[in-house]
Amino acid sequence: WNKAASSIRLGSLRAGSTRGASLRSESTSVWRNSGMDAFSKSVREEDDEEALKWASLEKLPTFDRLRKGLIFGSTGPSHEVDVDNLRPEDRKHLLDRLVKTADEDNEGFLLRLKDRLDRY
């Protein structure tokens, strides 16, 4: 067996092991870094989508804007509803949610309600 060939093989194995370690550390750092970016991008995308929904509602004429709103689900995304077309049980559920919010801030809720009724 050839001593030069064995030293070349040994050298290439060492280079391969450092290259492998280097690739492992790079791939680990890529996973670490991209994990945070992927999460923050999805949060930003959800915020952007919600802002677009609000902007589209604000562009509606005043009369239509009074009848439409965004309902936020406990787990799902928000969706636009037309208050005039709600079923009675959905309307009751919406009012219950508003009253529950009003319990937390009665004065603010009543002032907003008064302003809304004055505009109508």
Does an H or E element contain 38, and which? helix 3-58
Whole-structure pTM value: 0.32
How confident is the model at residue 31, as a pLDDT? 46
> Residue 86: which residues within 8 A CB-CB, separation 6 or more?
94
Q: Give a yes or no: residue 40 inside a domain.
A: yes
Q: Give a yes or no: residue 101 inside a domain.
A: no
Residue 85 CA to residue 69 CA, distance in Å, equals 12
Number of folded domains in the chain?
Answer: 1
Mean pLDDT of the chain: 66
Domain that holds residue 38: 1-60
How confident is the model at residue 63, as a pLDDT? 65
Collapsing DSSP states into helix, strand and coil, what is residue 69?
Answer: strand
- Among 91, 89, 83, 90, residue whose Cα is nearest residue 63: 83
How confident is the model at residue 91, as a pLDDT? 83
Q: Give a yes or no: residue 4 inside a domain.
A: yes
Per mean pLDDT, which of 1-10, 24-33, 110-119 is the most reliable? Answer: 110-119
